[in-house]
Amino acid sequence: MALEAVLFASDRPLPDARLGEVLELPDDGATSASIERAVADLNADFERTGRVVRVRRLAGGWRVVVPAAHAEVIERLKGQRQQAKLSPAALETLAIVAYRQPIIRADIESIRGVASGEVLRGLLERRLVRITGRAEELGRPMLYGTTREFLSVFGLASLTDLPQRKEFAGGPRNPRPKATPAAASQTESPTPEGEEDAKCEGPAIEGDAAE
């Protein structure tokens, strides 16, 4: 099946538009519905034949994944985890960025109560966080947001899949800074378009997240 072949060959999640283009589906506005039906049929076939993989929405697209139950054996095969563990400080900072983006470093440090420059640099290097623009305030500090790699690592289709902030007691109350319309083109060392899509080897592990 063409859809199965394309998904297995891809090193990143494929959105509906890209799949429609590759599979040469009619551009009649029903591409997404057609792909969803094809994915459902494919998953049903995987289940019927006892295949271990499934196709899931991940980071804004479709990708072949392996159930988390098989993560340990896959990690033994590769010899190491696909994603190094994140420290508690990195996870805390990443959570603040995820829920408050776009956000400046000063506000992150105000919420955490400690300097966060080194932690932010580490998250940028891991491509879990990127520079999204500059805030409209004195000094035009850089704004930070999450990447598609963040969605992929934590098994999210989009940011709307994050747990609702009302589920947590006493969330941060600092106002979120706004970016200027042209901010994205004025950042220092910005992430080029599409670069935040990290390449992966083989199917992802369903629900895999940095610990």
Q: Sorting pLDDT into bands at 50, 70 and 90, what band is 178?
A: very low
| Second-level CATH architecture of 88-186 | Orthogonal Bundle (1.10)
Would the pTM count as exceeding 0.75? Answer: no
pLDDT at 131 over 70: yes
The string of pLDDT tens digits covering residues 12-66 is 899 998 898 888 888 777 888 989 999 999 999 999 999 989 999 988 899 998 8
Which pLDDT score is estimated for 69?
Answer: 79
DSSP assignment of 117-138:
HHHHHHHHHTTSEEEEEEBSST
CA atoms within 13 A on the CB side of 194: 3
One of 3.10.20.30, 3.90.190.20, 1.10.10.10, 3.40.50.300 is the CATH number of 2-65, namely: 1.10.10.10
130: tokens are 């990127």
Q: Amino acid identity of 135?
A: A
- Stretch 167-195: mean pLDDT, rounded? 41
Which pLDDT score is estimated for 183?
Answer: 37
Share of the chain above pLDDT 70, in %: 73
Q: Which of 37-46, 185-194, 195-204 has the lowest mean pLDDT?
A: 185-194
The structural domains of the chain, with segments of one domain joined by +, span 2-65, 88-186
Which pLDDT score is estimated for 210?
Answer: 40
The string of pLDDT tens digits covering residues 54-86 is 999 988 899 998 887 777 777 666 545 445 678
Strand runs labelled E in the chain? 54-58, 61-66, 103-104, 129-134, 142-146, 204-205
